[in-house]
Structure 1
């Protein structure tokens, strides 16, 4: 499986950088953002991520389509924070029975939501512009990862689309047998849970078979392995890492200068 092509065929300057460098830059840029709870730092980070999309050759619609599950999870996060947040400080905006909505709760919910987006977007951008095989080769050659780990991760990544196809197959098989929730939400939840469990069992079985097949083909050997495609790491790749770290530090600095910085500890 190859990554889904972007609108302009990955012609961005940063899309051609070493896959390991792009992954490292995503980590250097996003991980420091988890140290603060304020919405300013992740908002600045999201603005930077959207600004560099043309440099990666990623169309905004493609990114939005890939981020759809992330947006659904953020909706659940917002509901959870608004209902169960421990800190109810600030001005009371709404009081309805056990639910008390304050400015402090809204600030916390906004900060968490923006932080999830800011941390996840770099990874989505990297995966949208990187061939999985190139990434595994770069991890082995440049990041000195174990071939067993890198190739195993590559094999797992290639199996992800099969989960979607298997979910459709399971759902179609259940409908063919007359198992349909109709308009009953309780039945829909029950069918969803049983389908998810069947998908999990199938994924575990497929993973065990794949691991056995890889071991039988010598992927567990400790002898040095050769590579078919050489991945070079140059000065531009190092500059990408430095720029990612500097931009992340800049986002935190802006948060501190505005007085919004709220350390997680």
Structure 2
């Protein structure tokens, strides 16, 4: 609820755009990046994406706070690719059990940058989109089934509650002396126990929510809308921006000679 109020009070440009328009822009960028594993196209797309964050009222600190798991995953994936990929070109580092060559380093760097360039638009989309507005657009404009839309809305609302629930369970367990000490195996066991408690709470909360929504007529055939979802000139610019970013990334890679259509078997 607090995040929704924050979004409503945020007058940044992208927060006012239609959720489906923002989603379309993210899809356009993702498709272009999924076609190649080169570092040039990923670098160009990433540079443009970082320029978009101020338009959503976000900072680099908030980016790290909300997207650090994805950033770390991309870093680990890039490093793993660099040391496990076949050697090609001059050997840059050789420690016996693994080595890094010019070709494997370029491949790992491309994987890292591409992972970041694909993850950041998703973080941007979720950070500047109110779940209720997204549900309205999915139901009114995308014509998706009401039950699917309401389930998606409930899931998005419960994500923040589950994070708070995890902290509450952790503090309660530490108050009883569980999970606050011991060797790594004991701490792992305590974490698994806390995860099971969170799962039980999630099932209970989902059951109560389902009963409440059914009692209030959310499954009815006739629906009315408090807010009308519409497309505006801003939404057209958002979609065009996604198309331009994807086109610029592809054009830069082709011009640099690094474009690599991995799905077509080109090297």
Q: The TM-score by the shorter chain falls in which range?
A: 0.7 to 0.9
2-side partners of 1:195 and 1:90: how far apart?
Answer: 49
Match of 1:110 in 2: 109
Q: How many residues align?
A: 262
Within 5 Å, which residues of 2 pair with 1:1-265? 1=1, 2-3=3-4, 5=6, 10-83=10-83, 85-180=84-179, 182=181, 184-221=183-220, 223-265=221-263
Taking structure 2 as the reference length, the TM-score comes to 0.86
CA distance in 2, matches of 1:76, 1:198: 30
Query: Residue 82 and residue 196 in structure 1: after superposition, are their counterparts in 2 closer, same or farther (change >3 A)?
Result: farther
Cα distance in 2 for partners of 1:247, 1:208 equals 43
Farther off after superposition, 195-204 or 44-53: 195-204
More helix per residue: 1 or 2?
Answer: 2
TM-score scaled by length of structure 1: 0.86
- Judged with a 3 Å threshold, the aligned counterparts in structure 2 of structure 1 residues 256 and 204 are, in CA distance, closer, same or farther, namely farther
Cα root mean square deviation, aligned: 2.5
Give me the whole-angstrom Cα distance separating, in 1, the residues matched to 2:79 and 2:203.
Answer: 32
Cα distance between partner residues in 2 of 1:166 and 1:12: 30
Distance 2:56 2:226 in 1: 25
Bigger CA drift: 194-203 or 109-118?
A: 194-203
Distance in 2 (alpha carbons) for counterparts of 1:103 and 1:259: 16
Distance change (3 Å), C-alpha of 1:69 and 1:173: same
Measured against aligned partners, the alpha-carbon deviations of 1:206-247 in whole angstroms (never above 9, x if no partner) come to 3344334333433333x1311011121124323321331232
Mark the CA change 1:187 to 1:110 in structure 2 (over 3 Å): closer, same or farther. farther
Please list every run of 5 or more consecutive structure 1 residues that lacks an aligned counterpart in the other structure: none
- CA, structure 1 residues 191+100, in 2 after alignment: closer, same or farther (shift >3 Å)? farther
Note closer, same or farther for the CA distance 1:193–1:75 as it changes in structure 2 (3 Å cut). Answer: farther
CA deviations 1:52-92 (Å, max 9, x no partner) are 23333333332232222222323432453345x24233322
CA distance change for structure 1 residues 56 and 174 in 2, over 3 Å: closer, same or farther? closer
Structure 2 residues not aligned, in runs of 5+: none
Distance 1:205 1:144, change over 3 A: same
Tell me the distance in 2 between the aligned counterparts of 1:47 and 1:4.
Answer: 30
| Deviation for aligned residue 1:137 | 0.9
| Distance of aligned partners of 1:98 and 1:44 in 2 relative to their CA distance in 1, 3 Å threshold | same
In 2: Cα distance, 1:188 partner to 1:161 partner = 25
Q: Say if 2:139 and 2:145, in contact at 8 Å, map to a contact too.
A: yes
